[in-house]
Amino acid sequence: MSDIEDMLSVTEPKVDTERALARLRARVEGEHIAPVTRSGSAPRRIGVNIWLRGLAAAATVALVATLLTVSGLAETILTIFEPKLLVAVPITVTDLNGAASFGAYGTLTWTEQPKPYDVPDVRTAAHDSGMTVLVPGNLPAGVGAPHYGVMNKTTATYTFSADKTRQAAAALQRTPPPMPANIDGSKLFITGGPAVVAYYSDSTNTTGATGATGASPFAGMPTLIVAQGRPPVVQSDGVTVEQLQSYLLAQPGISPQLAAQIRAIKDPSSTLPVPIPVDMATSKKVTVQGVEGIFVGDSTGLGSAVIWQKDGIVYGVAGTLTEQQVLAVANSLH
């Protein structure tokens, strides 16, 4: 027996499973607790992985903007492109709810699924991602030690389908414009990542960061996230970004304001729109690491993020910090 096994030894409990099941049954019936019989989508991985929460938060600063707009709008518009510029695009809840999902226009097939995983240290993160991982030289008081996670390079193929579009629209009782023949059946080849996320928790918080049964939805949310990754690149087997843009912006549910903003992007093939939910956040241009970046602050003033692209890598720093603190961390990355 090892010393730790010895220290943690306990008297094996006598368990009466049937009695415990009866107790649970009484509680479920007494409190009228309804079971879940199915979930609407593939379940989130275990839900207790603090790094995945970090990744989710990083996504909110649009490290991978194409995955951020859950309507799929950005994904569909930002097709054939290799982004070099970042542009803030204000979106509203109406925009998000009004646009049809990406799945309504065809089928996405992963050839390499995104599989985020934890790594023990920054050296492993750099090795696995193949990137030089920048670390902050300056951390605000109260920020603890980082946990690192890596997202592998992912690839997927998207195939447009006029039939599927019609069916999806019919289910929503909508009448979309017909899909042009050159789009029907055409394929997009999407590559994203790799990416590295460093998740810093509050060093003063000693309560369970990931309690699956914790009551607070904010339990375990990171104080600071530093993320970097290769931006998504999309290739097409024929259709152009202009053709797709024209078709998709004519769909029902896309507000004229949003369509105008997207059309105003001068070079859609090399511009990564960072969707800013106008009801929840504000944005402005800032200089970070000597290049232009986008600062995003939530409307409550409780959270800030900055995102920029340099030397082919998109970087994001976000946290429950002030604008000054976030920018100080971003500028201290080395």
Partner 1 sequence: MEVADRLRLTASPGPGIPPAFEALFRREYARVVAIAHRVVADADEAEDVAQDVFVSFYRKHPADAHYAAPWLYAAAAHSALNVLRSRERRGTRDAVEAIRRDAQTPDPAQAAETAETRSEVRAALARLPDRSAALLALRYSGLSYEEIAAALGLRQSSIGTLLRRAEDAFRREVTT
Residues that bind partner 1 (CB under 8 A): 3-5, 7-8, 10-15, 17, 20-21, 23-25, 27-29, 32-41, 43, 45-52, 70-71, 96-97, 101-103, 117-120, 124, 147, 206-214
Name the residue nearer to partner 1 (CB basis): 85 or 93: 93
Name the residue nearer to partner 1 (CB basis): 113 or 181: 113
Name the residue nearer to partner 1 (CB basis): 5 or 311: 5
Q: How many CA atoms lie within 13 A of 72 on its CB side?
A: 16
Name the residue nearer to partner 1 (CB basis): 103 or 312: 103
Name the residue nearer to partner 1 (CB basis): 49 or 60: 49
Name the residue nearer to partner 1 (CB basis): 4 or 181: 4
CA pair distance 206, 26, nearest whole angstrom: 34
Pairing mode, strands 271-277 and 313-319: unpaired
Give the residue from 253, 129, 139, 112 showing the smallest Cα distance to 195.
129
Structure-token pair, residue 12: 């094996």
Nearest approach, Cβ of 49 to partner 1 (angstroms)?
3
Nearest approach, Cβ of 13 to partner 1 (angstroms)?
4
β-sheet bridge partners, residue 309: 314
Nearest approach, Cβ of 74 to partner 1 (angstroms)?
14
Residue type (1 letter), 88:
A
Residue 210: phi and psi, rounded to 5, are -130, 25
Pairing mode, strands 143-151 and 195-202: antiparallel
Name the residue nearer to partner 1 (CB basis): 13 or 256: 13
Nearest approach, Cβ of 262 to partner 1 (angstroms)?
20
| CB contact at 8 A, 62 and 316 | yes
Which residue shows structure tokens 């990137």? Answer: 131
Pairing mode, strands 233-236 and 313-319: unpaired
Name the residue nearer to partner 1 (CB basis): 168 or 318: 168
Nearest approach, Cβ of 276 to partner 1 (angstroms)?
17
Name the residue nearer to partner 1 (CB basis): 207 or 324: 207
Nearest approach, Cβ of 84 to partner 1 (angstroms)?
30
Phi-psi region of 274 (alpha: psi -120 to 50; beta: other; left: phi over 0): beta
Distances (CA, A) of 298 to 61, 64, 252, 253, 295: 11, 18, 29, 25, 10
CA pair distance 314, 68, nearest whole angstrom: 14
Pairing mode, strands 224-229 and 313-319: antiparallel
Question: For 150, which DSSP code?
Answer: E
Structure-token pair, residue 260: 């105008």
Nearest approach, Cβ of 78 to partner 1 (angstroms)?
18
Nearest approach, Cβ of 46 to partner 1 (angstroms)?
5
Nearest approach, Cβ of 55 to partner 1 (angstroms)?
10
The span from the first CA to the last CA of the chain, in angstroms, equals 45
